[in-house]
Amino acid sequence: MNENEMRILKKGSCPSLSGRSELSYHIGCDDNRQPYIQISSNTGKGLYLKSPIPFSQILPPDDKPFSSGTYQALFKGRSVNTAGFIIAILKHLNLVQNVQGSSRSYIRCDSSAFNAEMQTLMDADSPADQKSPAVKIRKKVN
Per-residue pLDDT of the chain (142 residues; tens, 9 = 90+): 444 678 999 999 999 999 999 999 999 999 899 999 999 999 999 899 999 999 988 887 778 898 888 887 787 777 788 999 999 999 999 999 999 988 889 999 999 999 999 999 999 866 554 433 444 444 444 4
Task: Tell me the C-alpha distance between 52 and 42, whole Å.
Answer: 15
CA dist 116 to 37, 89, 121, Å?
16, 18, 9
Extents of the domains making up the chain: 5-123
CB 135 within 8 A of CB 8: yes
CB 92 within 8 A of CB 100: no
> Of how many residues is the chain composed?
142
Assign 54 to helix, strand or coil: strand
